[in-house]
Structure 1
Amino acid sequence: MAARTDFGKELLCPLCRGLFHKPVTLECGHSFCTPCIAGLWEQEQERQECPDCREVFPKRCLRVNQVLCSLAEVARTLSLGDPAQGESRYCQHHREELKLFCETDIQLICVVCRESSEHREHRCRPLKDAVENYKDLLKSSLEFLSEKKAAILEVELKHKQNISALKDQSSSLLSHIMSEFTQLRLILNDKENNLIHDLKEREENILQTIHKNLQQVQCDLDSIKLEMLQLQRRLDEKDPLTFLKEESSEVSRKMQEYKSLDLVHGHLPLGDFKGPLQYKVWKEMIYQISPAPASLALDPNTAHPELTLSEDLTSVRHSDRWHERPDTPERFDQCVSVLGAQAFASGRHYWEVKVADKIKWDIGVVNGSINRKGIIRPGPATGYWLLGLRNDQYEAYTRPPTHLAPSEKPWKIGVYLDYEGGQVSFYNADNMSHLHTFTHTFTEKLYLNLSPCLNEGGRNGADLKICSIKRHPQK
């Protein structure tokens, strides 16, 4: 009797406290009558949560629990969970105790019903076995839903982790952007202050000269006025003897003294302060920004024997002619490539390579330990982070290749390396539009890699050239 009562309690809806009617199961695993949960959610339109565990669901998802529905029907037949129905355990037709459960018709029957034509071909079980079987089914459903809940919670956690990681990355990038532009403003403010200081200094120097000359002019003017008064008195002299007492040569000498007065012009040099200031400052800033474009050179000891390097080691082309060079471990023997002479093991660096109208090329950075012999399949897995052009198609050498579609054909390719940040980015250096970014944790020294590719009978004979930046000493 106690077991039957406990089983009946499991078939009661937590909301209406009656046997389940059209039971549905939520994603959390708890079950309710369809009218009960639907009515509750209708009242609380803003939230759809489980009345039992209070888990909130983003959308309404009610799954019919057929097993629970069948068990509730069995319980109704047995009057389980409803004390008002008494102990109705007997067949209404044969007055025999209901000891069997017909799984075909999903109803309780007696031993007489079992032998009747209605149930003779049906699959029947003893009541206890049927209850245990449906309990097992119910447990399986609960376990399935629990597993699904755990899987959904795991997906939810990953989404939340992705949101957190995205916010952290955005915050870091925002700080980086603000820091970079703060540095630019500091450089601009410094140049503005220096230019204003130079202007004021020149103004002060000219004004000092003008004021000095003006003082001299004032002295001369006072002296002239005094002389004029003296001359006027002489002119007013009536007595000829008195008039001629002073030598005429003295008058002539004093007149000569006032003939050398020059005007000091106070013009400031417009070329220094009213020229193309923005362009001039921009040209000067390129040597102070970080990272400033690097002036790199190529390493002839790594060049494929058919490559020709310029005397200053800044450009390379495919010559279609084999040069006798030592077959050392560092030299490429099949891939027509060459490495840069400088190694990068830290810091941020940027350089530009002129590709002009070449129809094939490869540009990027590589590990110092890369394989340089035989056929090479470039990619991050083999220590190559390259961008290339083939058949008018720009590609990043990933696996599989990443096809790129620049808005304009690049004349120069910019390469940015942030060693500690694990970043290699490529840009159309003409307008600094982004082409592609590789991310990796670098542990080796990195080198510039250039491949002009085969010259294709002269159609691809142009050089790949590192754009050099001439450094000027800073004041």
Structure 2
Amino acid sequence: MATNLDIDLRCPICQEVYQDPVLLRCGHSFCRGCLRRHMDSVEETATCPCCRDGFAEDSLYPNWQLANVIAGLRDLGAGPSMEPGYPHCAKHKRELELFCQDDKQLICYICALAHNHRNHNCVPIDDAYMECKDKLKCSITMLQNEVTDRMAMHVSQGGKISHLLDMTESLRNDIAKQFAAMHNFLDNRERAIIKELADEESRVLTQLEENMLTISEDCNMIEAIIQDISEIINSEDCHQLLREYVSLKKRSEVIYNVVLNTPVFNLGVFYSPLQYGTWKQMKDIIKTVPAALSFDPRTANPKLRVSNFGQMLQYCKAQSQRPDTTERFTKHLSVFASTALSSGRHYWEVNVSEGADWILGVAAGSVNRKVCAVTSPDNGYWTIGHRSGGQYWAYDHKKVAIYPDINVEMIGVYLDYEKGQLSFYDAEDMSHIHTFNHHFTDKLYPYFSISPNAECANPSLQLLH
């Protein structure tokens, strides 16, 4: 019906609803003003803009019937057929029977012919109501899935909090046990470390609790949207639903992925050998020595010389004649310690040459010693290294820069096999450098590598104990 009215009630010249329509002998109607302007624009006999049939100025007849139809349509909404209180067009006083899908609003048939909605996709209210209702139902399903995902995230964050609390509680017990052997002078140090742990726990716990609060607030917002949509759908009020459809749909679509904090548990410093670290600060009270390791000459590259009862490792430019056994490194300038580690806690210290290139850590006993491989966990190595120019690196799954406070001359290495922790320290003051976490299963060996550079032509390493 709207399409037929749009064709029949529009002037062929201005394409608007007829204003003062006139009829020609050929049967075509036009706005009087439009036809006058057409006649003024031609110098010869005027012709019908539709069929080109000529006509004279005195042959214009008012089309009263068409004018009455247009007037009747405009006034139809104010007649007795309109139910009191029924929604109607504020402009044309006509019942709202169409929904403009382009502008997303209720309109009457006269609005559909007007310039604002001409050529728009206007459909009956019932059709629009069912379509929009189905879309909002789909929105509810989507939003319910979002709530489910966020609840799972909420549970996950709770699990991380429990894990954090378990780790920090375990650390408290370990710290208390190590400090039990110390007396009044050590109490201040113990309290300082406990405070550092509490600060770390508080920092990470705060971030995790913020994550939980963010998720809860997000869920509340989504559930509020669901409730608003459900209420308007359950009310079966098609006009209210269509009036608020755009707003509700927009609210249901503006759901962003939750951005959560990713806290890093910086707990490596608390797994350190606390008694020995404290002894470094109070050498007259605690007497603790690192493990008595020695370099294993059977594994040393032919350009490396082991001396001083296995405590000194030095680079030699001239390669010595040594048997090429399966145990020996031939591509890396490397060596193992003679002691295998497969359980327990172990600590050792290494003095490094100033400016030398070196790599320290542990390696699995199964590593291939005949190839030149990156000393990363993917190849069975857990190491840090130094290169000329003051560059320090951790050879994790990818090479990452680390930044000790000063140039390190003595490295402390601490391995807790069962906990899967390997930590490195500046042995002068036990400041933490880097920590690896890994579930160790292979037999491990302390690993050492040195190589010359422009700053240090004859690098060396020395084990201290």
Query: Could you tell me the TM-score, scaled by structure 2's length?
Result: 0.55
Shift of 1:92: 8.8
Q: 2:332 aligns with which of 324, 335, 339?
A: 335
Q: Which residue of 2 aligns with 1:59?
A: none
Q: 2:143 aligns with which of 145, 149, 155?
A: 145
Shift of 1:386: 1.0
Shift of 1:398: 1.6
For the structure 1 residues 118 and 339, does the alpha-carbon distance in structure 2 shift closer, same or farther, using more than 3 Å as the test?
closer
For the structure 1 residues 146 and 324, does the alpha-carbon distance in structure 2 shift closer, same or farther, using more than 3 Å as the test?
same
For the Cα contact (< 8 Å) 1:358–1:460, is it kept in 2? no
- Unpaired runs of 5+ in structure 1? 1-84, 189-277, 469-475
**Paired amino acid for 1:177:** I
**Structure 1 segment 175-186 matched on structure 2, within 5 A:** 175-185=173-183
3-state SS of paired residue (2:322): coil
Q: Which residue of 1 aligns with 2:435?
A: 437
Q: 1:388 aligns with which of 381, 385, 390?
A: 385
**Structure 1 segment 106-185 matched on structure 2, within 5 A:** 106-109=104-107, 114=112, 119-185=117-183
CA–CA separation in structure 1 for the residues paired with 2:368 and 2:352: 25
Q: Which residue of 2 aligns with 1:407?
A: 405
For the structure 1 residues 458 and 141, does the alpha-carbon distance in structure 2 shift closer, same or farther, using more than 3 Å as the test?
closer
For the Cα contact (< 8 Å) 1:299–1:340, is it kept in 2? yes
**Structure 1 segment 17-416 matched on structure 2, within 5 A:** 88=86, 99-109=97-107, 114=112, 119-185=117-183, 285-286=286-287, 292-391=289-388, 392-416=390-414
For the Cα contact (< 8 Å) 1:358–1:461, is it kept in 2? no
CA–CA separation in structure 2 for the residues paired with 1:94 and 1:410: 87
3-state SS of paired residue (1:377): coil
| 1:459 is the counterpart of 2:460 | no
For the structure 1 residues 284 and 294, does the alpha-carbon distance in structure 2 shift closer, same or farther, using more than 3 Å as the test?
farther
- Deviation digits for residues 178-216 of structure 1, max 9, x if unmatched? 111013459x9xxxxxxxxxxxxxxxxxxxxxxxxxxxx
CA–CA separation in structure 1 for the residues paired with 2:392 and 2:92: 86
CA–CA separation in structure 2 for the residues paired with 1:458 and 1:92: 89
Shift of 1:164: 2.7
Shift of 1:433: 1.1
Q: Which residue of 2 aligns with 1:221?
A: none
Q: Percent identity of the aligned residues?
A: 39
For the Cα contact (< 8 Å) 1:304–1:337, is it kept in 2? yes
Shift of 1:174: 1.4
Shift of 1:381: 1.6
- Deviation digits for residues 45-99 of structure 1, max 9, x if unmatched? xxxxxxxxxxxxxxxxxxxxxxxxxxxxxxxxxxxxxxxx867378799998754
CA–CA separation in structure 2 for the residues paired with 1:311 and 1:437: 30
**Paired amino acid for 1:398:** D
Structure with greater Cα Rg: 1
**Structure 1 segment 407-426 matched on structure 2, within 5 A:** 407-426=405-424
Q: How many residues align?
A: 290
3-state SS of paired residue (1:141): helix
For the Cα contact (< 8 Å) 2:312–2:461, is it kept in 1? yes
- Deviation digits for residues 22-61 of structure 1, max 9, x if unmatched? xxxxxxxxxxxxxxxxxxxxxxxxxxxxxxxxxxxxxxxx
Q: CA RMSD in A?
A: 3.4
Shift of 1:368: 0.5
**Paired amino acid for 2:396:** T
Shift of 1:114: 4.7
CA–CA separation in structure 2 for the residues paired with 1:395 and 1:444: 24
Query: Could you tell me the TM-score, scaled by structure 1's length?
Result: 0.54
